[in-house]
C-alpha cells in the first residue's frame, strides 16, 4: 500500500466507520436525524476499502443500485461524449452524495472515479428508500440534497453560458474554498484534488487558459499557487470576480495597486 501523504482530507476511516461518530454527519445524510435513526441508517451503510487514485466507484452503464457518500478524498463524475472525450459533470468532496442522478435509471448515467485515495460509504438505494418510509427527516434530507444539486447545476449553467475565463476560475476557487471551510479546513489554503486539465474540462476551458488565468491571478496577488497547493490571498477580490461581472462594470484586473 503506497501510503502517500494525504494531508487534508484524511478521516481515519477505521475509527469513524459509523455515522454517529463521523465528523461529517452534520453535513451528510444523517443531518437532523436523532441518534436512534442515525443508528438505523448506519446499519444499511457499507464501508468499502479505500479507492486508490484513478479507481472507479462505478462506470457509466453499470447497474444502478447504490449512492455513495464521500468520506475522505474526492470523486469526479464524468460522461463520455460520442467522440470518447470526457466531460466532467461534478466533483464531490467529503460528505457529498454521489450517484443521485441515476435514481430513476437502471444504470448510472455517468462514471465516478477517485481523484485521490478516497473512502466512501456505500448506501444501497432500495434500502435507503425503505428506511426513508419511516424516517421523515431522512426523506427530507434526500430531497434537500437533490434540490441543492439542482441549484448548483443551474449555477454551473450560468457559469458556462455567461462567465468569462477569469470569472469561471474565480468561481471555482471560491466555491472550493467555501466547501473546504464547511468541512473544517482552511478556506485560504488547500490542495486541489484535480489536475488543471480536469479543471478546464469542468469549466469549459482549455487547459492552457486555466493555466494562464492561474498565472494572472498570481501576478495580481489574488492567489499563490504551488503545484496543486492553493493559497487565497485576496478572498474578497476573488469573490467579486466570481460574481457575474460584465467587462464594463469591472475592468480586467491588471494592477492590484
Cell of 15: 475509527
Grid-cell match 478524498, residue found: 73
Tell me which stretch binds a copy of itself (CB under 8 A): 50-58, 87-95, 221-229, 231-239: 87-95
**Contact characters 185-224, DNA, x per CB under 7 A:** ----------xxx------xxxxxxxxx-xx---------
Are 29 and 123 a contacting pair, CB within 8 Å?
Answer: yes
Tell me which stretch binds a copy of itself (CB under 8 A): 6-14, 96-104, 116-124, 181-189: 96-104
Q: Measured from the CB atom, is 139 or 212 closer to a copy of itself?
A: 139
Q: Is 80 in the site for DNA (CB under 7 A)?
A: no
Q: Is 175 in the site for a copy of itself (CB under 8 A)?
A: no
Q: Measured from the CB atom, is 96 or 116 closer to DNA?
A: 116
- Candidates 34, 87, 186, 256; binder of a copy of itself (CB under 8 A) is 87
For residue 97, the partner it binds in DNA, a copy of itself, none, with Cβ less than 5 to 8 A by kind, is none
Rule CB under 8 A: which residues touch a copy of itself? 77, 79, 81-83, 85, 87, 89-90, 100-105, 109-110, 129, 132-133, 136, 139-140, 142-151, 153-154, 156-158, 160-162, 201-204, 243-246, 249
Amino acid at each position: 500500500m503506497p501510503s502517500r501523504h494525504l494531508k487534508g482530507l484524511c478521516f481515519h476511516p477505521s475509527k469513524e466507520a459509523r455515522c454517529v461518530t463521523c465528523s461529517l454527519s452534520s453535513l451528510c445524510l444523517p443531518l437532523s436525524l436523532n441518534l436512534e435513526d442515525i443508528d438505523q441508517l448506519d446499519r444499511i451503510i457499507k464501508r468499502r476499502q479505500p479507492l486508490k487514485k484513478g479507481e472507479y466507484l462505478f462506470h457509466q452503464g453499470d447497474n444502478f443500485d447504490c449512492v455513495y457518500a464521500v468520506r475522505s478524498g474526492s470523486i469526479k463524475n464524468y460522461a463520455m461524449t460520442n467522440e470518447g472525450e470526457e466531460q466532467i459533470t461534478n466533483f464531490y468532496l467529503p460528505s457529498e452524495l454521489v450517484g443521485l442522478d441515476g435514481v430513476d435509471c437502471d444504470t448510472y448515467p455517468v462514471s465516478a472515479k477517485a481523484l485521490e485515495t478516497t473512502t466512501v460509504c456505500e448506501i444501497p438505494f432500495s434500502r435507503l428508500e425503505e428506511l426513508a418510509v419511516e424516517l421523515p427527516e431522512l426523506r427530507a434530507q434526500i430531497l434537500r440534497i437533490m434540490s441543492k444539486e439542482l441549484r448548483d447545476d443551474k449555477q454551473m449553467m450560468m457559469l458556462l453560458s455567461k462567465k468569462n475565463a477569469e470569472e469561471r476560475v474565480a468561481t471555482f476557487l471560491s466555491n472550493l474554498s467555501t466547501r473546504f471551510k464547511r468541512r473544517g479546513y482552511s478556506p485560504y489554503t488547500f490542495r486541489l484534488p484535480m489536475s488543471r486539465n480536469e479543471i478546464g474540462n469542468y469549466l469549459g476551458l482549455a487547459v492552457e487558459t486555466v493555466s494562464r488565468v492561474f498565472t494572472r491571478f498570481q501576478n495580481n496577488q489574488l492567489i499563490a499557487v504551488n503545484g496543486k497547493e492553493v493559497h487565497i490571498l485576496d478572498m474578497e477580490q476573488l469573490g467579486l470576480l466570481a460574481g457575474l461581472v460584465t467587462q464594463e462594470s469591472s475592468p480586467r484586473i491588471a494592477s492590484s495597486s
